Structure 1
Amino acid sequence: MARVVVVHGIGHEWSGSALMGRDVVPALRDGVRQGSGLRLDDDDVACAFYGDVFFEEGTRGLGVPPWDEHDVEEGFEAELLMVWWEAAARAEPGVPAPDEPGTRAFPGAGWLLSQRMRSALDALSGSRFFGAYSDRMMVFALKQVRRYMNEPPVWQAARARVAEEIGDDTRVVVAHSLGSVVAYEALCEHPEWPVTDFVTLGSPLGLSLVFNRLSPLPEAGKGAWPGNVRRWTNITDPGDVVAVVHELAPRFGAVVDESLDNGLKPHSLPRYLTAKKTGRAIAEGLM
Structure 2
Amino acid sequence: MTRVVLVHGIAQQVKGAETLLADWYPALCDGLALASGPRPEPYEVAMAFYGDLFRPAGHRGLGLGVPELDASDVEEGLETDLLLGWWHAAAQQDPQVTGPEATTRLRTPYAVQRALNALSHSAFFAGLSERLMIASARQVRRYFTEPDLRARVQDRLTRTVTADTEVIVAHSLGTVVAYETLCAHPEWSDLHLITLGSPLAVPRLVFDRLLPQPAPHPRWPAPVTRWTNIADRADAVALTKTLAPAFGARVTDHLVHNGPQAHDVRPYLTARETGAAVAGALTV
* TM-score w.r.t. length of structure 1: 0.93
Q: Which runs of 4+ in 1 moved over 2 A?
A: 55-63
Unaligned runs of 5+ in 1: none
Distance 1:138 1:167 in 2: 34
Unaligned runs of 5+ in 2: none
> How far off its partner does 1:278 sit?
0.1
Q: In structure 1, what residue type is equivalent to 2:237?
A: V
Identical columns (%): 47
Q: Does 1:54 align with 2:54?
A: yes
Q: Does 1:213 align with 2:213?
A: no
Counterpart of 1:106 in structure 2 is 105
**How many equivalent pairs are there?**
279
Where does 1:11-50 land on structure 2 (aligned, <5 Å)? Answer: 11-50=11-50
> How far off its partner does 1:106 sit?
2.5
Counterpart of 1:147 in structure 2 is 142
Distance 2:274 2:35 in 1: 7
1:285 is paired with a residue of what secondary structure? helix
- Contact residue 13 and residue 65 of structure 2 kept, 8 A: no
> How far off its partner does 1:105 sit?
1.1
- Contact residue 56 and residue 65 of structure 2 kept, 8 A: no
Post-superposition Cα deviations, 1:76-103, rounded to whole Å, max 9, x if no partner, equal 1111111111111111122111127xxx
1:105 is paired with a residue of what secondary structure? helix
Q: Does 1:262 align with 2:242?
A: no
Post-superposition Cα deviations, 1:212-234, rounded to whole Å, max 9, x if no partner, equal 000100022x3211221011000
- Contact residue 14 and residue 64 of structure 2 kept, 8 A: no
User: What do you get for the CA RMSD once the two structures are aligned?
Assistant: 1.6
Post-superposition Cα deviations, 1:27-84, rounded to whole Å, max 9, x if no partner, equal 1122112213322211121111000111344669673121011011011111111111
Distance 2:64 2:97 in 1: 33
Distance 1:226 1:90 in 2: 33
Counterpart of 1:176 in structure 2 is 171
- Mean CA deviation greater in 185-194 or 54-63: 54-63
- Contact residue 218 and residue 224 of structure 1 kept, 8 A: yes
Distance 2:147 2:245 in 1: 28
Counterpart of 1:65 in structure 2 is 67
- Contact residue 143 and residue 150 of structure 2 kept, 8 A: yes
1:36 is paired with a residue of what secondary structure? coil
- Mean CA deviation greater in 192-201 or 269-278: 192-201
The 1:63/1:12 distance shift into structure 2, 3 A limit, reads closer
Counterpart of 1:81 in structure 2 is 83
1:13 is paired with a residue of what secondary structure? coil
